[in-house]
Amino acid sequence: DAKTTQPNSMESNEEEPVHLPCNHSTISGTDYIHWYRQLPSQGPEYVIHGLTSNVNNRMASLAIAEDRKSSTLILHRATLRDAAVYYCILRDVGYGGATNKLIFGTGTLLAVQP
């Protein structure tokens, strides 16, 4: 499985934008970039995913570099409830032996200050 690299932790202030980086230099053409977050003592929550183009949804935006070797999750206005561990995961959806597995790394612990 292709690996991702994320900072161990980041801090943000409430109501300010947050940019969470992820490097995935060995990404393959059939790898989707997924972001999940996990609040304390809860299961992970799906945030967003994309392949090549930038994506927006009600939770966040995903900016994908042109060479796809990095991406950034953007929370437009951080709230205290956004404090969580954010995981950037590559998922291979190609055929021929690929699986739907998600392999979690250590993620980025986001702290939001009031």
Residue 6 or residue 70: which is nearer to other proteins going by CB? Answer: 6
C-beta atoms surrounding 77 within 10 Å? 11
With binding defined as CB under 8 A, does residue 21 bind other proteins?
no
Q: Are 18 and 35 in contact (CB under 8 A)?
A: no
Q: Which of residues 23-52 bind other proteins (CB under 8 A)?
A: 34, 36, 38, 41-46, 49
Residue 13 or residue 106: which is nearer to other proteins going by CB? Answer: 106
CA pair distance 80, 16, nearest whole angstrom: 11
Among 4, 35, 87, 110, binds other proteins (CB under 8 A): 87
The Cα angle at residue 39 between residues 24 and 10, in degrees rounded to 5: 50
User: What is the closest distance, in whole angstroms, from the C-beta atom of residue 102 to other proteins in the complex?
Assistant: 6
CA pair distance 82, 98, nearest whole angstrom: 32
Reading the block at residue 48, the tokens are 């967003």
Q: Are 95 and 80 in contact (CB under 8 A)?
A: no
Residue 32 or residue 63: which is nearer to other proteins going by CB? Answer: 32
Q: Which of residues 89-108 bind other proteins (CB under 8 A)?
A: 93, 99-107
* Positions that interact with other proteins (CB under 8 A): 34, 36, 38, 41-46, 49, 87, 93, 99-107
